[in-house]
C-alpha cells in the first residue's frame, strides 16, 4: 500500500510541476501580447516578477519532494539524507514565502486601485502553502529522528 501511495504522490508532483509550468507560460504569453492598462501597470509587473522568481524555489521544492519520495521508497533508508532533503524543502518553502511577503504591498495597492478588497487575499494564499510545507517538514523530521533514536 505504501509503494502505491508513493507512486501516486510522485505522479501528483509531476502533474503539479507540469500544470504550474503551463500556467506560468500562459500568463507570460498574455502579459506579452496584451498590454496592461496604465493604472494597474505599476502593480502588475512587480507581482509578475515575484511570481516568476518564486518559480525557482517552487520547482526546487518539488524536485526535493520527488527525491524525498524516492528515498522513502528504498528499504535502506539513510536518516541523514532524508533529513537533509527535508531541510532543503523547508528552505525552499521559506524562500517562497519571503518572496510573496515582499509583494503583499503591491497586492494591497492593486486591490485598492481596482476597488476589490478580496483580491489582496490572493497574495496571502502562497504564504499559507509555504507555512504548511515548513511545518510538515519540521514534524516529519522530528518523527524520523525519534524513530531512529
Q: What is the pLDDT of residues 50-108, one digit of tens each?
A: 888 989 998 998 899 888 888 876 655 567 788 788 888 888 888 888 888 888 888 88
Mean pLDDT of 134-144: 73
Q: What is the pTM of this model?
A: 0.75
> Could you give the CA distance from residue 65 to residue 74 in angstroms, rounded to a whole number?
15
The answer to whether 104 and 123 are in contact (CB under 8 A) is yes
* Residue 136, all three cell numbers: 510538515
**Nearest-angstrom CA–CA distance, 44 and 137:** 32
Per-residue cell: 103: 509583494
**Cβ(83)–Cβ(68) below 8 Å:** no
Distance CA 11, CA 78 (A): 23
Domain boundaries, the chain: 2-148
Amino acid at each position: 500500500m505504501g509503494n502505491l501511495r508513493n507512486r501516486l504522490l510522485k505522479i501528483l508532483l509531476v502533474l503539479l510541476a507540469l500544470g504550474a509550468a503551463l500556467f506560468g507560460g500562459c500568463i507570460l504569453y498574455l502579459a506579452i501580447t496584451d498590454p496592461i492598462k496604465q493604472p494597474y501597470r505599476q502593480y502588475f509587473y512587480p507581482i509578475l516578477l515575484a511570481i516568476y522568481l518564486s518559480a525557482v524555489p517552487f520547482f526546487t521544492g518539488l524536485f526535493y519532494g520527488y527525491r524525498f519520495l524516492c528515498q522513502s521508497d528504498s528499504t535502506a533508508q539513510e536518516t541523514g539524507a532524508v533529513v537533509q532533503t527535508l531541510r532543503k524543502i523547508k528552505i525552499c518553502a521559506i524562500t517562497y514565502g519571503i518572496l510573496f511577503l515582499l509583494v503583499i504591498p503591491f497586492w494591497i495597492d492593486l486591490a485598492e486601485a481596482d476597488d476589490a478588497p478580496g483580491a489582496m487575499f490572493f497574495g496571502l494564499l502562497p504564504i499559507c502553502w509555504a507555512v504548511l510545507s515548513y511545518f510538515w517538514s519540521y514534524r516529519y523530521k522530528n518523527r524520523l529522528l525519534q524513530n531512529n533514536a
